[in-house]
Amino acid sequence: MEPLLCFPDPPRPELAKALDSAGYAFIAVADAEAVGALEPPEGWSGAVVSTTESPEAAFRLCDALRRRDEPVAPILLVVEAGQLGALDGQKELFDDFTLTETLPDEIETRLGHLLWRTGRGKHHDVIAYGPLALNLETYQAVVAGRSLDLTFMEYELLRFLAAHPGKVFTRETLLARVWGYEYFGGARTVDVHIRRLRAKLGEENAHLIETVRSVGYRFGTARWRP
């Protein structure tokens, strides 16, 4: 996959670490001029722009990325919770955002959404547990050799749960982490998707997603394989 553009240069340590942990190659740029000077031959796969140092400079860069003859897309903003107000009136300059406080977990989820929509991606492993296998590159899910016909959000919910084996998540946390902070649906959305996932997994495999009474949901212990 082509490298991501990352702003600023040097990137914040927590952002660089998050991108490295998620397996994304990136090149840091200091301004719009550097975008062209450092652009790889195959172009940019997208951009991750932090507003932490200077929201004004970050939005100027986003505007420049949008105005290029070949615009850089998608653009993911990384903002601090106290800077959310700065996003008002700037929605046309980015495709999604995540909070600095939620790094590194959100980087993979957010970029996965955006790159999937634009037909880009990176090579991933497969999450496997018993009869279930999730291919994180092709967005395919198989159980006992049978392909699962999942919607994008069903797949993302199953992938997120399986990527954090043994950990209990509340419905509110799942809404924020899978659907996104901009989603305003109720917790019932999670219950509906869990019910559909269990139905598609089949009665013999529905236990892979466990209900933790009065708390939320948990996926069984998973193992990773290449």
**Residue 79 CA, distance from chain mean position:** 15
Q: Phi and psi dihedrals of 209, rounded to 5? A: -105, 110
**Helix residue spans in 39-176 (DSSP H):** 55-67, 105-117, 152-163, 171-174
Half-sphere exposure of 144 (CA within 13 A, CB side): 8
| Mean pLDDT for the stretch of residues 26-53 | 94
- Could you give all domains of the chain from N- to C-terminal order, each with its CATH number? 4-117 (3.40.50.2300), 126-225 (1.10.10.10)
| Mean pLDDT for the stretch of residues 154-159 | 94
pLDDT digits (tens, 9 = 90+) for 159-217: 999 888 788 999 999 988 888 866 667 788 999 999 999 999 999 999 999 999 989 99
CA proximity to 171, closest of 117, 211, 128: 211
- Residue 43, Cβ neighbours under 10 Å: how many? 11
* Total count of residues recorded for the chain: 226
2 and 120 Cβ atoms separated by less than 8 Å: yes
pLDDT value at 133 more than 80: yes
**Position 119 confidence tier, pLDDT thresholds 50, 70, 90:** low
Q: Phi and psi dihedrals of 11, rounded to 5? A: -70, 160
Quote the pLDDT of residue 150: 94
Lowest mean pLDDT among 18-27, 52-61, 152-161: 18-27
Q: Of 127 and 38, which is predicted with more confidence?
A: 38
Handedness of CA 149, 134, 118, 42 (dihedral sign): negative
What Å distances lie between residue 3 and 18, 28, 38, 110, CA to CA?
A: 15, 10, 11, 16
Distance between CA atoms of residues 218 and 208, nearest Å: 8
**Position 225 confidence tier, pLDDT thresholds 50, 70, 90:** very low
| Mean pLDDT for the stretch of residues 72-78 | 93
pLDDT value at 117 more than 70: no
pLDDT value at 122 more than 60: no
**Position 136 confidence tier, pLDDT thresholds 50, 70, 90:** confident
**Position 66 confidence tier, pLDDT thresholds 50, 70, 90:** very high
Q: Of 22 and 116, which is predicted with more confidence?
A: 22
| pTM of the full structure | 0.56
Quote the pLDDT of residue 226: 40
